Amino acid sequence: MKSTYSLKLYIASNTVNSQLAITTLTEIYHDDLNDDYHIEIIDILDNFEKAETEKIVAIPTLLLQSASSSQRRLVGNLSDRKQVLQEIKMLQQNAAYN
């Protein structure tokens, strides 16, 4: 089954903010999301080309994209679970209108 939403988390190795972002996104995925989501964690130190292609200028960055091409970006401290979940829900709402 193809995922409806793609969540790509760009991090820089083991920085504190990167680890907080991974923890937040993992908790949200397990507690609040379903199989409509595909999560990918990309370390820019290992895959700089992919970050460059996506025009990632700060880390951590979470790219949220729907199959209908709606896209949102969250940049910086992603430890606020409520805010990250709210952005994911907004992506769902935007995708419903496209």
Query: Within the chain, where are the H helices?
Result: 16-32, 48-53, 81-97
Range of the domain at 43: 5-97
Q: What is the pLDDT of residues 31-74, one digit of tens each?
A: 998 878 899 999 999 999 999 999 999 999 999 988 877 788 99
Q: What's the whole-number mean pLDDT along residues 11-26?
A: 92
- Burial zone of 65 (CB within 10 Å; 0-12 exposed, 13-18 middle, 19+ buried): middle
How many domains, in total, are found in the chain? 1
Place of tokens 């790509």: 8
Q: What is the DSSP letter of 4?
A: S
SS3 10: strand
CATH number of the domain encompassing residue 44: 3.40.30.10
Place of tokens 């209108």: 97
Q: What is the pLDDT of residues 33-43, one digit of tens each?
A: 887 889 999 99
The whole-number pLDDT of residue 3 equals: 65
* pTM to 2 decimal places: 0.88
